[in-house]
Structures are given as C-alpha cells and as structure tokens.
Amino acid sequence: MRNRRIVITRDKSQAESLARRIKELGGKAIFFPTIEIREPDDWQACDAALSGLRSYDWVVFTSVNGVNYFFDRLNELNLSGESFKVAAVGKRTAEALEKRGRKADLVPDEHTASGLLNAFSALELRGARFLLPTSNIAYRRLPEGLIELGARVDKLVVYHTVANRSVDAESMRMQIKNDEIDCLTFFSPSAFNYFIEIVGEPIVEDIKKSAVTIAAIGPTTSKAIAKLNLNVDVVPDRSLVEDFVEALAAFYSNRN
C-alpha cells in the first residue's frame, strides 16, 4: 500500500482510525467526506417515541451514529435507557453501546441487516415491539424483515444524513481524471451516492477509464456501486476497519 493515494469518504469524525492505519502501512489518506451528519430539524416525533420507551421490547441499532444521537437525546430528556433489550449490527455499534452503559443483548455474526434478521429469526417475535433509531435515509430491509417475522416495528429518525457540499468537488474530479487517485473507499451506499451527486455523474465514466480501485464495506454498498456499472475491487469479509485495511493491503500486495 506504500505511496497509494486513498480517498476516505466517511465523515471525518469516523475516519481517523482508518486514516491512521493507512498511514501506518505507507499509504496517503485523502479526506473527502461526502456525508454530513446533523440533528433532526424537529425533535417532536422523536421525543414522543422516547417518552414511551417502556412499551418496547427491543431497540435495534444499526450504526454508531444511531447509538450516540439516541442516548444523547435520552439524556437531554432525563429518561432511562434500561427498560428494553438492545441489539447492535456489529462490533463498533456494540462498543458504542457499552460506552453508554449498555451491553448488547444480540450481535449477529454477519454485521449486516440480513445478519440481524437471521439472528432474530431464531427468536419468537410475534407481537414484540421494536424501535429502530435510524437516519432519514435508512434502508427498508431490516424493518420489513422484522415485520415478516411477526414484530411490530417503529422507525425513529434520530439523525439526518445529508450531502457535504463543503468539499472541493472540482479538485477531486481532476485528480481522478489525471490518475492521481489510487483508491476510492465507501462505507455506505449514501457515501457513494453523495460522492456521485457532489462530484457529478460524468465522473462515473472517468472512473471507468482510470486505474482507480474501488473498495467498499458490505454487500449493500457494493450493490449501490454496481448499479452504475462500476466494479468493486475490494470487499472485506467483515465490516470492520481492521478487516477493510487488511483486504486493501492484500489487494495491492497481489498487484505488486
């Protein structure tokens, strides 16, 4: 990975560990956060749901952001987060819960929505009430799957994901066209979709003509990229930063 120029599209607050590991292996991390995370414009619907937390059997978290915004709001309202079981989509989300004083009751082996559904399918869910703290652009696979298993599901928007317009789109466009970027990394479908929206759709053809590598976390992100007929070169087995960097390093090692 030495001297490879690797673009990180994650929110900068979540990109530091990835950037640090890339630098340790001799690469150059280029920050280009395509996502901006914000509070909801109006907390009214969220607060109403939080005031009725005791009626829920499970609260399911699919991101670190979901954990942080959920518990921050609970604290502001002086409400307890002890009356329900909690599930986390993966290791990082479970660690975020532990920092808030809650140990996840369920963490699937496969760190995806499908993994969560597979884990819950072993339980009796008929009539159980689920709350899903999520973003404004969350995907429907998880709530629909839980409903199919017999659960009653409420989604709760605790943060908004929007395109980050403060990045230098023209500079990124020219770097890709001039083959000055070795790898683009995407950790979510929204990170990729906003990248295309910010830089401009013609960049798709520029990427195809270039030597740039695309690395993505998970099948959902890979599918979003494939919809624009772009090849995903690196997909780690697990959705962890360590696995992501190892897969990327192995890819470049095999190319040397």
Tens of each residue's pLDDT in the chain, 256 residues: 889 999 999 887 778 889 999 999 999 999 999 999 999 989 999 999 999 999 999 999 999 999 999 999 999 999 887 789 999 998 889 999 999 999 999 999 888 888 999 999 999 999 999 999 999 988 788 999 999 999 999 999 999 999 999 999 999 999 999 999 999 999 999 999 999 999 999 999 999 999 999 999 888 899 999 999 999 999 987 767 888 889 999 998 887 6
Residues 29 and 48 in one domain: no
Same domain, 86 and 180: no
Task: Verify that 142 and 217 share a domain, yes or no.
Answer: no
* Pair (137, 48) in one structural domain: yes
Which helix (H) or strand (E) segment is 154 a member of?
Answer: strand 152-163
Same domain assignment for residues 86 and 102: yes
Taking CA 30 as the corner, what is the angle to CA 24 and CA 36, rounded to the nearest 5 degrees?
120
First CA to last CA distance, the chain: 9
**How high is the pLDDT of residue 256?**
63
**The pLDDT of residue 107:** 96
Total domains in the chain come to 2
Instruction: Give the integer Cα–Cα distance in Å for 70 and 64.
Output: 10
pTM: 0.83
Q: Which of 129, 162, 195 is the last residue of a domain?
A: 162
Q: Do 132 and 43 reside in the same domain of the chain? A: yes
Q: Rounded CA gap, 134 and 69, in Å?
A: 9
- Are 151 and 132 in the same domain? yes
For residue 240, give the CATH number of its domain. 3.40.50.10090
On whether both 104 and 213 belong to a single domain, the answer is no
Last residue of a domain, one of 146, 162, 178: 162
| Measured distance CA(158)–CA(94) in Å, rounded | 18
Structural domain span for residue 45: 38-162
Phi then psi for residue 188, to 5 deg, are -160, 155
Using CA atoms in the order 116, 118, 123, 126, what is the torsion angle rounded to 10 degrees?
80
Q: Do residues 171 and 240 both lie within one domain?
A: yes
**Same domain, residue pair 90 and 49:** yes
- Sort 197 into a burial class: Cβ within 10 Å, 0-12 / 13-18 / 19+: middle
Of 110, 140, 162, which marks where a domain is finished?
Answer: 162
pLDDT of res. 130: 97
Same domain for 213 and 243, yes or no, is yes
- 91, 189: one domain: no
